């Protein structure tokens, strides 16, 4: 039988020019005044507002830093790491900056570094202005000012290499060991009592879902004769933003780290920060008003400081955290990640086409940006998928029942484990992430094909008393082993590292990947593939640049017979060689072509 060419037709979904930003009040202080009145109407708290505004004026006057370049985060390649697991200490991380620079990274996302009992990997913050002493190799009793100076020295080293630095600020909750909560639990008469949410019973906020199913039975934790409210672990009490003192305190924390030279903040768990009876306590209007104030704080003191929304929500909800250019600059595209994995599993581009359809992923303004990943560092999140898709993805990738997280809503596994330790599949996944619209994030060790850490998981399970399977994907990076493997070109480490470095080097030469529009490509292929669409192919375009990316999702060789736009000759970006139709892509192969 002769294989006849089949033409794969995609719906015309060329991305339109970015939406213009809706006109808004441009003066940040006026924006703060307006938002404050929405949250705390009347005159009762105006004195506190005046204090905040005065502190902002002083911070702007005292800052030694210029405004950052507009949209710098669009051209970023971000590397996400735990300082201790990646390099031991900040001194070790400084020594590895040249490695990161050679990889092509130009922004570091430091996973939690602030003082913490470390019961939730540092997301349970005990002191927002104090970095953990062990991350510098210091004595635990070292003064905070000494650590702050050491951190400023690290920032200077990173900035000298044109590497920006952002880190996590948990805005929704603190550790139960935070001084505010220590005071709060002393009783109703304590001045810090209203920093948190206390009740005599558990009959408030009953519509609020459990985020940590299988690990926490309730959103309320008994403490003496009272209960306190929490969305995450029971040792992470939620802050009460109905008290304006809380909003001012968090604003001061942002101001402090701006004064140290930090380039941006990942706003952790922001959909939950305002609670209202009779609601699910997610994505409430007051939450957006609070974010507007935080954004205005940054805009006033150091414009273009990144505010990144960590909102595990559908895209139509996430885009609301961009506001009218007055909330977050960027947000994670949570549901795209599992659809990339589904597309690889079923060898069909349709899941990615569907999730990026404008009916699911709304257009965003020219200022804003999606952030992309191949796991939310710790897990392949399945919270934002249908039960049918969850069954497909979980069934295909949860190869060990111990990898299960949150009762089927996530898979805790390293990228190399999920993709069968196959360098072709890993490189293909990176090709997709690095070329679809958005800013890519690489998780530490993935550039070496790092595997799950069984020993680390077992030890932390015993230490914390929590069967948190995310510890499979944490743990120290073995640099000696990685360097040994890099010396062997046939090793998984070397193959993954070489492919990723090559891809990033090309991406960094083409602004179109971070700033251009997208249009699905129509390609004629052979052999016939039935109803499946085994190629994920798209044009990326901006004035002066046009690139065609073709990803072969299948385990079969595919011949490209013709491209819809009629072009028959292209320049391949990795080698600068001319490619003419027809040409062949190997199983799990990919091409980036100048079109």
Question: Three-state DSSP class for 410?
Answer: strand
Q: Is the pLDDT of residue 562 over 60?
A: yes
Give the pLDDT score at 11: 36
Annotated active-site residue 276? The verdict is no
Of 238, 254, 286, the domain-final residue: 238
Q: Is the pLDDT of residue 537 over 50?
A: yes
**323 touches 289 (CB < 8 A):** no
What is the domain-level CATH number for residue 226?
3.90.400.10
489, part of any domain: no
How far is it, in rounded angstroms, from Cα 92 to Cα 136?
Answer: 9
Range in 99-103, 304-308, 401-405 the model is least confident about:
401-405
Give the pLDDT score at 382: 87
460, part of any domain: no
Alpha-helix residue ranges (DSSP H) falling in 74-132: 83-87, 90-95, 97-103
Q: Is the pLDDT of residue 21 over 70?
A: no
Give the pLDDT band of residue 20 (cuts 50, 70, 90): very low
Task: Give Cα 326 to chain centroid, integer Å.
Answer: 20
Q: What percent of the chain has pLDDT over 90?
A: 81
Strand partners, 346: none
> What is the layout of strands, in order, in the sheet containing 6-8?
6-8, 523-526, 558-563, 583-585
191, part of any domain: yes
* 423-435 and 336-346 helices, crossing angle to 10°: 140
Q: Is the pLDDT of residue 15 over 50?
A: no
Give the pLDDT score at 6: 38
226, part of any domain: yes
Q: What is the rounded average pLDDT for all residues in the chain?
A: 92
What is the domain-level CATH number for residue 551?
2.60.40.1180
Give the pLDDT band of residue 306 (cuts 50, 70, 90): very high
Strand partners, 578: 571
pLDDT 10s digits, 226-277: 999 999 999 999 999 999 999 999 999 999 999 999 999 999 999 999 999 9
How far is it, in rounded angstroms, from Cα 523 to Cα 9?
Answer: 7
Give the pLDDT band of residue 460 (cuts 50, 70, 90): confident
**485 touches 494 (CB < 8 A):** yes
pLDDT 10s digits, 489-500: 999 999 999 999
> Which of 84, 268, 282, 327 is flagged as catalytic?
268
Q: Which helix (H) or strand (E) holds 24?
A: none
pLDDT 10s digits, 408-459: 888 889 999 999 999 999 999 999 999 999 999 999 999 999 998 888 888 8
What number of residues does the chain have? 595
Give the pLDDT band of residue 584 (cuts 50, 70, 90): very high
Q: Is the pLDDT of residue 291 over 50?
A: yes
| Token pair listed for 46 | 């105006």
**89 touches 137 (CB < 8 A):** yes
Q: Is the pLDDT of residue 281 over 70?
A: yes
Long-range contacts at 142-147 (CB < 8 A, ≥ 24 apart): none
CA-based nearest residue to 287, from 303, 298, 277, 276: 276
Give the pLDDT band of residue 25 (cuts 50, 70, 90): low
Print the domain residue range for 574: 6-19+516-594
Range in 9-23, 87-101, 239-253, 277-291 the model is least confident about:
9-23
**DSSP string over 393-408:** HHHHH--SGGGEETTT
How far is it, in rounded angstroms, from Cα 44 to Cα 128?
Answer: 28
How far is it, in rounded angstroms, from Cα 33 to Cα 12?
Answer: 44
**118 touches 481 (CB < 8 A):** no
Residues 278-296, mean pLDDT to the nearest whole number: 96
3-state helix, strand and coil shares in percent for the chain, rounded to the nearest 5 = 35, 20, 45
Q: What percent of the chain has pLDDT over 70?
A: 95
Of 170, 204, 238, the domain-final residue: 238
Output the pTM of the full model.
0.91
Q: Is the pLDDT of residue 4 over 70?
A: no
Q: Is the pLDDT of residue 534 over 50?
A: yes
pLDDT 10s digits, 189-214: 999 999 999 999 999 999 999 988 77
Please give the residue that has the higher pLDDT: either 6 or 220.
220
> Which of 84, 115, 282, 310 is flagged as catalytic?
310
CA quadruple 383, 386, 391, 395: dihedral positive or negative? negative
208, part of any domain: yes
Annotated active-site residue 268? The verdict is yes
453, part of any domain: no
pLDDT 10s digits, 118-173: 998 899 999 999 999 999 999 999 999 999 999 999 999 999 999 999 999 999 99
Of 212, 238, 264, the domain-final residue: 238
Count structural domains, the chain. 2
In the chain the first and final C-alpha atoms are separated, in Å, by 34
CA distances from 478 to 92, 151, 420, 463, 473 (A): 13, 24, 21, 22, 13
**487 touches 423 (CB < 8 A):** no
268, part of any domain: no
Give the pLDDT score at 466: 72
How far is it, in rounded angstroms, from Cα 498 to Cα 84?
Answer: 25
| Token pair listed for 595 | 């079109």
Q: Tell the residue number behind the tokens 């004595």, with chain if given.
A: 139
pLDDT 10s digits, 208-225: 999 887 788 999 999 999
Rounded to the nearest 10°, the torsion over CA 170, 171, 175, 179 is 130
Give the pLDDT score at 528: 65
Task: Give Cα 7 to chain centroid, integer Å.
Answer: 36
Give the pLDDT band of residue 530 (cuts 50, 70, 90): low
How far is it, in rounded angstroms, from Cα 67 to Cα 52?
Answer: 21
How far is it, in rounded angstroms, from Cα 536 to Cα 549?
Answer: 8
How far is it, in rounded angstroms, from Cα 217 to Cα 225?
Answer: 19
158, part of any domain: no
CA distances from 305 to 257, 301, 321, 431, 444 (A): 11, 9, 16, 28, 24
HEC string of 143-181 equals: CHHHHHHHHHHHHHHHHHCCCEEEEEEECCECCCCCHHH
* 492-509 and 479-486 helices, crossing angle to 10°: 80
Give the pLDDT band of residue 14 (cuts 50, 70, 90): very low
Give the pLDDT score at 23: 45
For the chain, how long is the longest CA-to-CA vector? 85
Give the pLDDT score at 468: 78
């Amino acid at each position: 039988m002769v294989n006849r060419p089949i033409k794969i037709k995609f719906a015309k979904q060329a991305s339109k020019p970015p939406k213009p930003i809706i006109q808004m009040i441009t003066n940040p202080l006026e924006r703060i005044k307006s938002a404050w009145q929405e949250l705390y109407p009347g005159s009762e708290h105006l004195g506190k507002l005046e204090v905040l505004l005065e502190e902002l004026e002083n911070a702007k006057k005292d800052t030694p830093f210029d405004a950052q370049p507009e949209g710098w985060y669009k051209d970023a390649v971000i590397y996400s790491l735990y300082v201790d697991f990646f390099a031991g200490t900040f001194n070790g991380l400084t020594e590895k900056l040249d490695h990161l620079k050679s990889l092509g990274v130009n922004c570091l996302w430091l996973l939690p570094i602030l003082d913490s009992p470390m019961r939730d990997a540092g997301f349970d913050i005990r002191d927002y202005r104090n970095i953990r002493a062990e991350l510098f190799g210091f004595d635990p009793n070292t003064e905070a000012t000494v650590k702050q100076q050491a951190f400023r020295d690290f920032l200077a080293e990173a900035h000298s290499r044109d590497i920006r630095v952002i880190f996590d600020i948990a805005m929704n909750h603190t550790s139960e060991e935070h001084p505010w909560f220590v005071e709060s639990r002393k009783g109703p008469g304590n001045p810090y009592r209203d920093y948190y949410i206390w009740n005599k019973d558990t009959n408030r906020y009953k519509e609020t879902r459990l985020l940590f199913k299988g690990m926490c039975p309730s959103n309320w934790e008994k403490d003496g004769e009272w209960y306190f409210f929490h969305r995450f672990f029971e040792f992470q009490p939620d802050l009460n933003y109905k008290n304006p003192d809380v909003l001012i305190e968090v604003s001061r924390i942002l101001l402090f780290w701006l004064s140290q030279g930090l380039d941006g903040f990942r706003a952790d768990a922001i959909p939950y920060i305002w609670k209202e009876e009779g609601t699910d306590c997610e994505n409430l209007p007051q939450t957006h008003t609070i974010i507007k104030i935080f954004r205005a704080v940054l805009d006033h003191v150091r414009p273009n400081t990144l505010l990144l929304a960590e909102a595990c929500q559908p895209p139509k909800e996430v885009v609301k955290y961009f506001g009218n250019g007055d909330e977050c600059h960027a947000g994670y595209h949570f549901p795209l990640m599992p659809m990339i994995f589904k597309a690889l599993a079923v060898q069909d581009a349709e899941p990615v086409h569907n999730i990026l359809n404008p009916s699911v992923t709304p257009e965003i303004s020219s200022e804003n940006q999606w952030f992309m990943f191949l796991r939310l560092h710790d897990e392949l999140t399945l919270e934002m998928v249908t039960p049918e898709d969850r069954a497909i993805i979980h069934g295909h990738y949860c190869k060990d029942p111990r990898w299960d997280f949150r009762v089927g809503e996530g898979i805790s596994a390293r990228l190399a484990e999920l993709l069968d330790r196959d360098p072709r599949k890993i490189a293909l996944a990176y090709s997709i992430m690095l070329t679809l619209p958005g800013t890519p994030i690489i998780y530490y060790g993935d550039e070496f094909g790092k595997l799950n850490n069984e020993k680390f998981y077992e030890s932390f399970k015993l230490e914390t008393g929590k069967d948190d399977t995310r510890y499979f994907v944490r743990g120290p990076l073995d640099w000696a082993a990685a360097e040994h493997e890099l010396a062997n070109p046939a090793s998984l480490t070397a193959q993954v590292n070489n492919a990723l470095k090559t891809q990033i080097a090309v991406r960094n030469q083409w602004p179109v990947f971070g700033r251009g529009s997208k249009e699905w490509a129509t390609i004629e292929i052979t052999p016939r593939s039935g109803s499946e669409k085994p190629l994920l192919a798209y044009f990326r375009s901006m004035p002066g640049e046009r690139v065609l990316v073709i990803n072969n999702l299948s385990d079969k060789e595919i011949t490209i017979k013709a491209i819809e736009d009629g072009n028959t000759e292209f320049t391949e970006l990795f080698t600068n060689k001319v490619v003419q139709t027809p040409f062949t892509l190997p199983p799990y192969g990919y091409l980036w072509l100048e079109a």
